[in-house]
Structure 1
């Protein structure tokens, strides 16, 4: 009886040791994966910072202006081209889409405006 109990105890100890070793190896593998992912994340952050710096360089107003002058052949804006708010048309008087009839104001052909 004592021998059977001793054999069962030795078996349980060996089984526990084997399971503990497997858990340790699995944890070490997961730890290695975490380290790899952290390294990749750090590289991605560096890449993002480089891309942001390049984007800021490419979007410098002086650079964009020189490229526009070189390739778009645009003319300078004249002072006469700038308008005033008073030159804008007035808003339509009554445009009610829920009215069911024809639209009022400019859309209905009326000359009525808000004064």
Structure 2
């Protein structure tokens, strides 16, 4: 009986050691993945900072003004002025909009090539 108890304790001890080893291995794998993800996040943040700096550099007002002047013949870009913007009170709302042309739908739908 004493031998059976020792064998049971030894088996339990081996099972617990195997479980502890497996959990330790899983923990190390997760920590490696976490370190990789953190490195990727760091690289992505660096790339984002570089892209934001490039964007700010490319959108300098004097550079955009020079580009507009160089492409005047093709694009006819005008400098922005406060008068180019409207007021919010000038925006029509849905109930203030006029009816679209042909809003009377009682006559049916015309097919391509048909005349009313």
TM-score, normalised relative to structure 2:
0.64
Greater RCO (CA < 8 Å, at least 6 residues apart): 1
* 1:45-84 deviation digits (Å, cap 9, x = unpaired): 000000000000110000000000001234878xxxx7xx
2:71 counterpart residue number: 71
Structure 1 counterpart of 2:23: 23
Change (3 A) 1:41 1:4: same
Alignment deviations for residues 2-29 of structure 1 (CA, whole Å, 9 cap, x no partner): 1001000000000000100000000000
Structure 1 segment 66-105 matched on structure 2, within 5 A = 66-73=66-73, 74=76, 97=95
> Which residue is 1:104 aligned to?
none
Which 4+ stretches in 1 moved above 6 angstroms?
Answer: none
Flag the structure with larger Rg: 1
Which residue does 2:51 correspond to in 1?
51
**TM-score normalised according to structure 1 size:** 0.65
Aligned partners of 1:14, 1:47: CA distance in 2, in Å?
49
Tell me how large the CA RMSD over aligned residues is.
2.7
Give the gaps of 5 or more residues in structure 1. 83-90, 92-96, 99-115
Structure 2 CA distance for aligned equivalents of residues 68 and 20 of structure 1: 69
Mark the runs of 5 or more structure 2 residues left unpaired by the alignment. 84-89, 97-116
